[in-house]
Every structure is written in C-alpha cells, then in structure tokens.
C-alpha cells in the first residue's frame, strides 16, 4: 500500500493518457479504424490458429468438432484479409465485423441445441445470445455509418471511462498531508 500511496500520480497520469486517447478516437474515427483494422487482423489470426489447433485437440471428444475447425479457418481467413491491406480493411471494418458477428451468432444458436442435448442448464441463453448477436451483426453490416459510429464511439467511451476512473483511483491513493 505504501508503494501505491507514494506513486499515486501514476494512476492520474494513466487516466489523463486514456482521456486524451478517447478524444483522439472521437476526433479521428477513420484513423482509429485503421489502427483497429491492424489489431483485429492480428487477433483474428491468433484466434483462428488457436481454434484450428483446439478443434483437432478435441476431435475425439466432441462429435461436432468440425464446426470449431470451420470457425477457426474463417477467423484465419479474416485475419489474412485484414492484414493484407489495412486501409481497405479499415473502410470495411463495419461490414466484416457485422458478417463475422452474424456467423458467430448462428454458430452460437446452433451450438445451443447441442448444449440442450448435453444437459447444459443455460442453453437458452446461448440461443438468445446467438439471435441477438446475429441481429446486431446484420445492423452493423448493412448500415455502414452506424457501424463506423458504433465501433469508434464505444471504443472512445470505454477509454474515457477507464481514464476517469484511473484519475479518481489515483487521487484516492494520494497520501493525506
């Protein structure tokens, strides 16, 4: 606790950096999308590789392991597409994310029936989640302005909130004089 109290200002500084970053996101949504395209491309590559490896690992245990393999291959393909030309990817982020959400929502919806057969108690939540995710993906895909504003706005709001709470926490650790 003594270390935290001595360096309370680091939390405040971190909060200020997050708030500045949030304002950058709000002010430059297209630049934000470019950075996001690169980040998402790397994320898709990583998750795709992990899902492909995971699908082969559980192939003897899960009868429908092929769906996990398909999801992994799709993530891998999306990752390659995103990283091959980040500028084009940035302009298509809302569409690609929307399509990806629809596919993932459908997979979740289909998986809910397998979960029901396996006796998973909250299989209905999986089904509802799959439907909601698919509808949200459709909305983002076919309304590009909504997609761009949704992606960058939520990102900016998240950074702003993290910044504010970091500042509050930093001042809360400040030793009383």
For residue 2, what pLDDT is reported? 54
Q: For residue 3, what pLDDT is reported? A: 54
Q: Are 97 and 78 in contact (CB under 8 A)?
A: no
pLDDT at position 46 is 94
What pLDDT shows up at residue 155?
A: 83
In sequence order, which residues have a C-beta less than 8 Å from that of residue 99 and are 6 or more positions away? 137, 141
**Domain-wise residue ranges, the chain:** 12-165
Tokens coding 79: 């990752």
**Nearest partner of 152 among 45, 42, 13, 21, judged by Cα:** 21
* Residue 8: predicted pLDDT: 84
pLDDT of residue 16: 94
pLDDT for the residue numbered 49:
94
The per-residue pLDDT for 76 is: 94
For helices 144-173 and 8-27, the axis angle rounded to 10 degrees is 160
Q: Is residue 67 a contact partner of residue 107, using CB atoms and an 8 Å limit?
A: yes
| Mean pLDDT per 10-residue section of the chain, whose length is 177 residues | 70 91 88 85 92 87 83 92 86 81 91 86 90 88 79 85 89 81
């Amino acid at each position: 606790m003594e270390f935290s109290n001595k360096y309370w200002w680091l939390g405040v500084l971190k909060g200020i950096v997050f708030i500045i970053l949030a304002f950058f996101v709000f002010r430059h949504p297209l630049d934000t999308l470019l950075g996001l395209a690169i980040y998402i491309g790397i994320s898709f590559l990583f998750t795709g590789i992990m899902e492909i490896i995971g699908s082969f690992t559980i192939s003897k245990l899960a009868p429908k392991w092929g769906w996990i393999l398909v999801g992994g291959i799709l993530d891998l393909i999306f990752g390659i597409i995103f990283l091959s030309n980040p500028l084009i990817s940035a302009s298509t982020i809302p569409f690609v994310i929307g399509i990806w959400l629809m596919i993932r929502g459908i997979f979740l919806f289909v998986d809910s029936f397998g979960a029901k057969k396996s006796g998973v108690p909250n299989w209905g939540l999986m089904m509802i989640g799959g439907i909601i995710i698919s509808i949200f993906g459709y909305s983002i895909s076919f309304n590009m302005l909504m997609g761009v504003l949704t992606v960058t706005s939520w990102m900016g709001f998240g950074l702003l909130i993290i910044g504010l709470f970091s500042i509050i926490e930093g001042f809360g650790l400040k030793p009383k004089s």
